[in-house]
Amino acid sequence: MIEMGIELELGVLLVLLLVGSEVFAPFEVETPAWRKIFKWSVVIGLTLALYRPIGHWAAAVPVGLSTLGLVFHFVWCKKNGIHPLRATPRRRYYQLRDWNWHE
């Protein structure tokens, strides 16, 4: 049997980053790049730092954080009348995020 090292955690991070950033791109249009980079740096750093002490359980960190974020996202969208995948109505979404609406 082949023993897997940190590849599992890196794969989980890669999948979450690719899928998450693509699916939720409409919700991050006006978010500054530094904020998105910081968020992912924290998640990646925490996951990799936990790999040595807890092994592959470290992969549960990004999965768990993503799950919590997804639940919060859907609840927040429903509460505010925003479509959870399309960020529509767009004007209302911009208003809720306190972003400037420009047509």
Structural domain harbouring 29: 7-97
102 in any annotated domain? no
pLDDT at 103: 66
Number of structural domains found in the chain:
1
Which of the 8 DSSP states describes residue 100? P
Give the model confidence (pLDDT) of 38-49 as tens digits.
999 999 999 999
84, 74 contact by CB (below 8 A): yes
pLDDT band at 102 (very low <50, low <70, confident <90, very high): confident
Q: What is the pTM of this model?
A: 0.82
Can you read off the two tokens belonging to residue 65? 């954080």
Which of the 8 DSSP states describes residue 3? P
1 in any annotated domain? no
Does position 27 have pLDDT exceeding 70, yes or no? yes
103 in any annotated domain? no
